[in-house]
Amino acid sequence: MSTVIEKTEKVSSAPQPENSERDVNRKKYASILKDISGHEAKIAELRAELPTQWLAFYKFYGKPFTTMLVYANTREEALQRVRARLDRSYSDGYELIEWRVDEYTDPGKAALNADKS
């Protein structure tokens, strides 16, 4: 003879709070994912508007102990801007040290090094 033992679980007829919380959380998470998707789409639009070529900061050194920070596409363009600025604003006593130029592609690093010689 074989005996079959059945395991019975107690089933409550009342709604379980876990399920209702899960439903609320699912709706909340679905809303969050929808918001994220919308933000990612906006980020993609904004990225499309960015220039394809990034500008860089060029820090030029001069005598007597002066530095100039210029924002340009290339070093040559930056050098032209510095020379134009020198012609407008500085006396003949200023000398540009053309061989000493620092290039910063990160604006944060450029800001940190703007006043350091």
Nearest alpha-carbon partner for 110 in 79, 62, 84, 71: 71
What's the pLDDT tens digit per position in 32-70?
A: 999 999 999 988 888 777 665 667 888 888 776 677 888
Q: What is the predicted pLDDT for the residue at 30?
A: 92
Torsion angle of C-alpha atoms 16, 17, 18, 24, degrees rounded to 10: 130
Edge-to-edge strands, sheet with 95-104: 66-72, 56-63, 95-104
Q: What is the predicted pLDDT for the residue at 65?
A: 67
Q: Which two tokens stand for residue 108?
A: 């944060």
Alpha helices in the chain (DSSP H): 17-49, 75-89, 107-112
pTM reported for the whole predicted model: 0.45
Task: List b or e across 34-47, with b for residues whose CB sees 16 or more CB atoms inside 10 angstroms.
Answer: eeeeeeeeeeeeee
Domain chopping of the chain, boundaries: 17-50, 56-112
